[in-house]
Structures are given as structure tokens and as C-alpha cells.
């Protein structure tokens, strides 16, 4: 009797597995918060990243494929937070990626703060204090300010003016570091954009949006223009008219292609018939960094604490498309930096700079 019962139970268990499929076949859902449409660069880059990850058994998590659940972020920071909450509560995603501006990333960070889910943003900064469960893979504002100060020192041809929009918080963090470093070799004056009469200067650092920088450049003809806002605004600067001559620091340079970036760019252009953008590269990095950290953590439940610990191990950097990446204590990235001059919607005369040590 007992043997017959055991056989029956075993048969039923086999039937249930057969009906539901094995656990290893069930995708791991990752939430993607975006500001565009299904045709935008982030969608395309994630499609390539997922294909790359799923075809490589050595990079899979628990032998399971990755699937992306896309959700529009909205027009206000609180809408990004609400969508992140929905992805976690209703879709049961294992991670949230996206939010390419500091204001949206900051709200997403608040949302995931008490959750068992990490968020990885392509932005460079997410406000202070940092959220324990949010990391950013874009160029950190402090790094942008540091490297642009190096550029200013190389020129060193007179006084420096910083034009600030108080609402551009990431740009102001960059401006703080830029000003601190520049005072060692030149006089620095700082004024808000709203000030009607602005002093002349040989070097002008714009801590504001791309649109504001273009509008404010006219009185400073002949000066060296440095743009201090985040990578999402850098893309806007490249796409808009009137930006020629601005020097920008960015996490992405299409003219200096490391092997991994070159392979990504080729695959992207072959599939989508257009070159990738900074946003495409950064969202690709966001997903692959989380997957690699989760793989290293080797935690059955993909717990946030275990993955977070791996992200913060500076002796084990992450390979991203432009080189290696480590995270500082505030969860901002330390990665290679590229500085170039805008000309005809492209970066020219590009130079690369190493990241500062994370601390």
C-alpha cells in the first residue's frame, strides 16, 4: 500500500512539473523605467543585452533567462517612483533599471529604499543622502567637475566664471568640485543665471541645462565653454543647434572604441541601422552590472543585501562597455571619462581620462 502511494505521489509530482515547466525555464523579470517609446535607444540596447546574456550559459542566473518588463516613467519625478513601486509590487521584478536623470533616479531610490530589490540607474547621481538600494552607472558629477578642472588648467588663460541654475542639482555638484580645484590656479567667480549683468571671463562653466547654456553663451564669445550637466543633457546638447564649441565630459565617446564598445556598436548598427547613443550604452551597462553582481552573489533568492555587497567590492571591478567600473561609498560610478568639443552635432578632439579612486 505504502509503495503504491509513493508511486502515485511521484507520478503526480512529475505531472505537475510537466504542466508548469521547470523553474530554470521561467524568466527572471527585470523592470525597465523609461522616458521614451518602444522605438527609443534604451529599448534597443536592452534587446541586445538580453540576447547577449541569454545565449551565454555562463552568464545566466540560476540557468534562467532574463526578460524585461518596460514601464513609462512619466513627466514628474513622483511618477517614476510610482511606476517603480508598481513593477515591484505587481510584476514582482527582481531589479529595476532606468531613470536617466538625477531627479527621477532620486525618486526611484526612495521607492526601493525599504525593498528587497536593487535599482541601477544610467544617471550619474541620485541626490543626497544616497539610497542603500540605488546605484548609478553614469558619470558622477564630482568626476565631471574634477576632469573639467583639468581641462581648464591645461588652458589656464585667465579668470573663470561659473554660471549656476540652482535647480540643476547634478550640475551644481559638478560645479562645486570644479570650483574647488580651479581656485588652486585661477580666480573663480560664481553667479546665478538670473543675474542680469555677468562678468567677463576667459573660461565659462555652465552649471545648467543644455538649453540654458546655449541661450547664455552669446556674451562670452571667445571664451572656453565647459558644460557641467549630466549625460542626459549632454545628448540634448549634441542634438540641438547652437552648441558648437562647448566642451563636455561624458561617460560615452563613439570615436574611441574599446573592443567591447566597438562590438556593441557594430551589433547595434547592424540590427537597428543607426549608431548607439550614450543612453543606449549606459542602460546596457546598468543591466549587465546588475546581472554580474547577482551572479557573483550566488544568492538563491536574489536578495538585495547580497547583491549590494558585491557591487561595493572595489577589488572586483565590473567590465562595462568603455572599460572598468567600481562604485564609491555614495553608490556613484568611477569609470573612464571622455572630454571632447562639440562640432556639428558630434564630439571632436576627444581625450580620455582615468577615473579617480573610489572612496
pLDDT (tens digit per residue) in 82-130 = 999 999 999 999 999 999 999 999 999 999 999 999 999 999 999 999 9
Which stretches within 183-258 are classed as H helix? 210-216, 231-239
pLDDT band at 253 (very low <50, low <70, confident <90, very high): confident
Please give the Cα distance from 112 to 233 (Å, whole number): 25
Q: Which residues of 40-49 are buried (b: 16+ CB within 10 A; e: fewer)?
A: ebbbbbbebb
What pLDDT score does 107 carry? 97
**Three cell numbers at 349?**
578632439
For residue 268, the surrounding DSSP H or E stretch is helix 259-272
Q: pLDDT at residue 10 above 90? A: no
Q: What is the CATH number of domain 23-139+256-336?
A: 3.40.50.2300
Q: Which three cell numbers stand for residue 78?
A: 513622483
* DSSP H helices in 24-140: 41-54, 77-89, 102-112
pLDDT of residue 19: 43
Q: Which CATH superfamily is domain 141-250+340-353 in?
A: Response regulator (3.40.50.2300)
Which is nearest to 159 in space by CA: 122, 190, 131, 188?
188
Say whether pLDDT at 13 is over 80.
no
pLDDT band at 282 (very low <50, low <70, confident <90, very high): very high
Mean model confidence pLDDT for the chain: 90
Numbered ranges of CATH 3.40.50.2300 in the chain: 23-139+256-336, 141-250+340-353
Query: Helix 169-182 to helix 141-155 angle, to the nearest 10 degrees?
Result: 40
Element (H, E) at 324: strand 323-327
Residue-wise pLDDT for 58-89, tens only, equals 777 878 999 999 999 989 999 999 999 999 99
Task: Tell me the percentage of the chain whose pLDDT exceeds 90.
Answer: 79
* pLDDT score of 260 more than 70: yes
> CB–CB of 101/94 below 8 Å?
no
| Average pLDDT estimate for 12-38 | 66
Q: What is the mean pLDDT of residues 251-278?
A: 90
Do residues 63 and 57 lie in contact, with contact meaning Cβ atoms separated by under 8 Å? yes
Amino acid at each position: 500500500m505504502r509503495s503504491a502511494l509513493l508511486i502515485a505521489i511521484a507520478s503526480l509530482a512529475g505531472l505537475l512539473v510537466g504542466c508548469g515547466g521547470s523553474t530554470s525555464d521561467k524568466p527572471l523579470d527585470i523592470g525597465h523605467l523609461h522616458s521614451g517609446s518602444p522605438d527609443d535607444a534604451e529599448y534597443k540596447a536592452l534587446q541586445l543585452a538580453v540576447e547577449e546574456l541569454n545565449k551565454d550559459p555562463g552568464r545566466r542566473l540560476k540557468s534562467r533567462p532574463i526578460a524585461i518588463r518596460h514601464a513609462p516613467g512619466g513627466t514628474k519625478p513622483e511618477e517614476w517612483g510610482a511606476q517603480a513601486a508598481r513593477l515591484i509590487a505587481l510584476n514582482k521584478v527582481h531589479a529595476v533599471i532606468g531613470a536617466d536623470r538625477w531627479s527621477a533616479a532620486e525618486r526611484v531610490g526612495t521607492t526601493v529604499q525599504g525593498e528587497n530589490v536593487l535599482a541601477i540607474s544610467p544617471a550619474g547621481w541620485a541626490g543626497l543622502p544616497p539610497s542603500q538600494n540605488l546605484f548609478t552607472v553614469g558619470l558622477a558629477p564630482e568626476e565631471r567637475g574634477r576632469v573639467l578642472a583639468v581641462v581648464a588648467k591645461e588652458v589656464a588663460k585667465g579668470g573663470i566664471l561659473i554660471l549656476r541654475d540652482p535647480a540643476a542639482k547634478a550640475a551644481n555638484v559638478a560645479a562645486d568640485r570644479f570650483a574647488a580645484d580651479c581656485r588652486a590656479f585661477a580666480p573663480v567667480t560664481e553667479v546665478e543665471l538670473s543675474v542680469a549683468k555677468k562678468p567677463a571671463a576667459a573660461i565659462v562653466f555652465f552649471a545648467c541645462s543644455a538649453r540654458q547654456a546655449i541661450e547664455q553663451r552669446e556674451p562670452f564669445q571667445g571664451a572656453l565653454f565647459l558644460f557641467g550637466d549630466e549625460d542626459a543633457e549632454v545628448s540634448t546638447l549634441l542634438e540641438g543647434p547652437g552648441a558648437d564649441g562647448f566642451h563636455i565630459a561624458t561617460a560615452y565617446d563613439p570615436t574611441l572604441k574599446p573592443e567591447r564598445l566597438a562590438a556593441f556598436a557594430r551589433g547595434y548598427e547592424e540590427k537597428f541601422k543607426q549608431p548607439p547613443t550614450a543612453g543606449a550604452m549606459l542602460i546596457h551597462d546598468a543591466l549587465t552590472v546588475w546581472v554580474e553582481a547577482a551572479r557573483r552573489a550566488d544568492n538563491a533568492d536574489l536578495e538585495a543585501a547580497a547583491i549590494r555587497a558585491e557591487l561595493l567590492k572595489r577589488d572586483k571591478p565590473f567590465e562595462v562597455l568603455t572599460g572598468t567600473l567600481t562604485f564609491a561609498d555614495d553608490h556613484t560610478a568611477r569609470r573612464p571619462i571622455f572630454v571632447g568639443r562639440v562640432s556639428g552635432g558630434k564630439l571632436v578632439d576627444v581625450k580620455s581620462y582615468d577615473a579617480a579612486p573610489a572612496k
